[in-house]
Structure 1
Amino acid sequence: MTRTRLRAGAAKVDITPDITKIRIQLGGYNARLNMPPTGVHDPIYARALALEVGEQSAVLVALDHLLIPWSLTRNVLQAAGLQSPQLFISASHTHCAPDSMGLNERMRFPLPGVGTFLPEFLAFTTERVVQTIRQARQRMRPAMLAITAAELPNLNRNRRGRRLLDRTMTVARLDDSRGEPLAAVVVFAAHPTIYPHTMMQVSAEFPGVVQTTLERALGRGAVALYLNGALGDVSPVADVGKDHHERVRIYGASLAAHAQRLLRNAQPALARLRVHQQMARLPEAQPHPEFRETTGRDYKVPESLLRQLVREIVPEAAPVSLLALGDLLLVGFPGEPISSLGLQARELGREAGFRYVTPVALVNDWIGYILTRHEYLKGGYEATVSFNGPDAGEAVMGAVRAGIGALRG
């Protein structure tokens, strides 16, 4: 196949809800105790990249949201007329977005610090995301693809005290047949937690800065999509700035500058598009011992209710989503994988013949943190938000292996 057979289109739509009409809660930190935002610091968006090569098509969506519950993915699939493997929808994981549990039909009972399902919020968000996808598809035209990746020093760190870390930024650039920019995709791993829980306004945080900065630099209506990598145990190194607002701006601008450099140096790639979705059958849901202890102590929630809670909010199976474009393979995890699992996915993809392989967190569903057995048993915060026991990570990685094998075949 040649590059001229690729068609692409991109769009972005404001998905900031009217907080005077939809009583959203601000997600990201339990310490906010379900309080609504006091205002909007900067708007949040859905950004979509529609792709087509021959009879194969797919849509990549980047949301300025905390996570992606299956109920949102399902509604978008139905309204946009897409098959499950064709949709790759990822959350940036900004901790200043409306609480995405408000989009989760499974979350129907109150718990301190966690949002509850709001049907009107799900309907609003679905409509805006579908609008973005339709606009991107309407704008599709012949396109050329270029890809590259590089390690970035001193921009992220392992917050669980390990040296293991994915420092790689991966970028893809799509230009039209005249060489004008259509879209850019940037993948890098770091928790958007520069703003603390005391920040009570809606914000896309540093991923928003990355995207808007790149869009201004690219010009001509090009859309930049930021996808977060294997961020489960990764924090940003964002120590420069006199206050949190300045640190967000400086860190986002730094990532954008690195992305611009990589995009300029990206190498042309033949455009072959393949998609696949592999379901991971999960171990039985169970609250981590530390989760039972802290939640019971802090919120006076009995253990029987905790067991019911995790069984209701966590599905029995979750999708691993794979999108291959040229030499690039995106491996979408239905939650927050830690660095070691992301690096395993990269190695599996490279063994299958892909030059560029990048894990992407929070794609198409959410099962919490995705850990190795060792890290689950080690405990800590991430383990308490891992709801399927010590073998959940291996179950998900089994689906990664099977999915990459199916994609290659």
Structure 2
Amino acid sequence: MRYLLFLLPLTLCGQLFQAGTARREITPKEPVPMWGYGSRHDMLSEGVMDPLYAVALVLQTGGQKLAIVGMDLGRAPAEGSLQRIRQRVKEQTGIENSFIAGSHTHHGPVLELTDKEGRGKGKFDAAIRYYAQMEEAVVDAIVEANSKLAPARMATGSVQLPGFNVNRHTKLEPKPSDRELAVLRVDGLDGKPIVILANFAAHPTTLPDKTMKFSADWVGQMKNWVGAQAGAPVMFMQGASGDQSVNREKGGYKEYGEAIGAEVWKLAQGLQAKDVEKPALILKEERFPFKARVDLSNPMVHGMYAKAFFPELITNFEDEYVGGVQPRLTVALLNGDIALVGASGEFFSNHAIRLKERARVKQLFFFGYCNGYHQYFPTIEAVAEGGYGADPTVSPVAVGAGEQLMNTALVWIYQMLGRLRL
């Protein structure tokens, strides 16, 4: 089943391009199960190493608005949370279009539990309470960012960063890695940054699984370092990092975060924000049905997963995948030459590399873990090779789903550019 399909063209000459931003803390206040490592099972968190935040950016392009939210979470909010956030934001601000994504830190809270018997209720009530608090914080951040909309200028740019990420999956050469660091800089009319958005692909897994404290991992260190230089909020949007690890030769989470932060700030300083002459937004979003490679309704399969993780988590996964795997694809063309592609899973890097090569726009930002989460999307050749991230246990979606979604994104971009009519 497909739904939530919309196309919003807008090209309004003479209209102002506006931007606003806000930040809210989203660290759980109570011990809850932690996301990211099956070895933890349902062990509860034991405090905070560094706080988790949601940073919201609202862009107004003429008469339409777009919200982008980067969160220090392992994934985007679960479907119920996502829909509640979007509905409340629409009611309070009129904003209908959003990219809401997690950084993929493995030291955030589990987000998949629900307030039902055998699915979290009674045993993990603190987690259920947290979801309401997280939703409130995200809505508040978007509402505040919207209230602070002001005339703005923007610039985008990118550089290749060799040595910061490595392909952790394939044993075949050459090993693909998306080494592009992309930055969106938005300035006020005074020339000072309103926000800096950084987009890169590398797992935030520099901390060990036995550390049971919340942390944004290297992403938090990067944002803190850049923010101190820029005097403005910093957002991070994770890329196609399904097969991308950090290069540990760069050091631990603090050293790595500050090293990549220096690269973000160097790139951002070299960008010259300019007036947007023709503010425009075209956006399309859809969910796609794919068969699942794993049948969680099979008692033996269910039991295996429940033992590897914990029962309440897997029961919620079973509920979500009862009709197959239904990832969400969100694509926007901003101001006629900047493409934003959001996908609800862990996409292998070659998906993003190939899309960027084929799209032929000024800048393409690929946001993984965005507007939902449907686990790994390996390439066809990665599935053929096998290994973690490509096998059905963590990639339940049908083989070739990632390629289909990227081809769809490419078609949509060319339609938005007016170069393709079907």
TM over 0.5: yes
Matched, 1:212 2:224: yes
Cα deviations by residue, 1:196-219 (Å, 9 ceiling, x for unpaired): 101110001111111111111111
Q: CA separation in 2, counterparts of 1:211 and 1:275?
A: 29
Amino acid aligned to 1:156: N
| Alignment partner of 2:27 out of 16, 23, 38 | 16
Q: CA separation in 2, counterparts of 1:44 and 1:282?
A: 33
Cα deviations by residue, 1:288-325 (Å, 9 ceiling, x for unpaired): 99x99998668668xxx999875523365332112333
Q: Is the 8 A contact 1:63 1:92 kept in 2?
A: yes
- 1:140 match: 149
Q: Any stretches of 5+ residues in structure 1 without a counterpart?
A: 242-246
> CA shift at 1:282, angstroms?
2.6
> CA shift at 1:185, angstroms?
0.5
- 1:197 match: 209
> CA shift at 1:27, angstroms?
1.0
| Alignment partner of 1:356 out of 363, 374, 379 | 363
- 2:88 match: 79
Matched, 1:185 2:197: yes
Matched, 1:337 2:347: yes
3-state DSSP class of the match of 2:248? coil
Residue correspondence of structure 1 range 326-405 to structure 2 within 5 A: 326=335, 327-350=337-360, 354-383=361-390, 384-405=393-414
- 2:416 match: 407
Q: In structure 2, do the counterparts of structure 1 residues 280 and 377 end up closer, same or farther at CA, with 3 Å as the change threshold?
A: farther
Matched, 1:225 2:235: yes
Cα deviations by residue, 1:318-365 (Å, 9 ceiling, x for unpaired): 321123334332211111110111112212321xxx111121101101
Amino acid aligned to 2:377: I
Q: Is the 8 A contact 1:109 1:116 kept in 2?
A: no
Cα deviations by residue, 1:244-296 (Å, 9 ceiling, x for unpaired): xxx1010000111000110011144553342423324232223199x999986
Q: CA separation in 1, counterparts of 2:141 and 2:347?
A: 27
> CA shift at 1:119, angstroms?
3.2
Q: Is the 8 A contact 1:146 1:266 kept in 2?
A: yes
Q: CA separation in 2, counterparts of 1:273 and 1:108?
A: 47
Q: CA RMSD in A?
A: 3.0
Amino acid aligned to 1:335: G
Q: Is the 8 A contact 2:359 2:414 kept in 1?
A: no
After superposing the two structures, state which structure 1 stretch, 291-300 or 225-234, moved more: 291-300
Q: CA separation in 1, counterparts of 2:343 and 2:314?
A: 24
Q: CA separation in 2, counterparts of 1:77 and 1:94?
A: 23
Q: In structure 2, do the counterparts of structure 1 residues 73 and 402 end up closer, same or farther at CA, with 3 Å as the change threshold?
A: farther
Residue correspondence of structure 1 range 217-296 to structure 2 within 5 A: 217-219=229-231, 222-241=232-251, 247-269=252-274, 271=276, 272-287=279-294
Query: What TM-score, normalized to structure 2?
Result: 0.83
3-state DSSP class of the match of 1:8? strand
Q: Is the 8 A contact 2:101 2:370 kept in 1?
A: yes
Amino acid aligned to 2:228: R
Q: CA separation in 1, counterparts of 2:117 and 2:388?
A: 21
Q: In structure 2, do the counterparts of structure 1 residues 307 and 140 end up closer, same or farther at CA, with 3 Å as the change threshold?
A: closer
- 1:244 match: none
Amino acid aligned to 1:174: V
> CA shift at 1:15, angstroms?
0.9
Q: CA separation in 1, counterparts of 2:389 and 2:301?
A: 13
Query: What TM-score, normalized to structure 1?
Result: 0.86
Q: CA separation in 2, counterparts of 1:388 and 1:58?
A: 29
Q: Is the 8 A contact 1:278 1:321 kept in 2?
A: yes
- 2:183 match: 171
Q: CA separation in 2, counterparts of 1:335 and 1:226?
A: 16
Q: Is the 8 A contact 2:112 2:316 kept in 1?
A: no
Q: In structure 2, do the counterparts of structure 1 residues 108 and 137 end up closer, same or farther at CA, with 3 Å as the change threshold?
A: farther
Q: Is the 8 A contact 1:106 1:313 kept in 2?
A: no
Q: In structure 2, do the counterparts of structure 1 residues 3 and 199 end up closer, same or farther at CA, with 3 Å as the change threshold?
A: farther
Q: Is the 8 A contact 1:8 1:52 kept in 2?
A: yes
Amino acid aligned to 1:349: A
Q: CA separation in 1, counterparts of 2:382 and 2:411?
A: 23
> CA shift at 1:158, angstroms?
0.5
3-state DSSP class of the match of 2:358? helix
Q: CA separation in 2, counterparts of 1:189 and 1:132?
A: 25
- 1:6 match: 17
- 2:102 match: 91
Q: CA separation in 1, counterparts of 2:216 and 2:117?
A: 23
> CA shift at 1:83, angstroms?
7.3
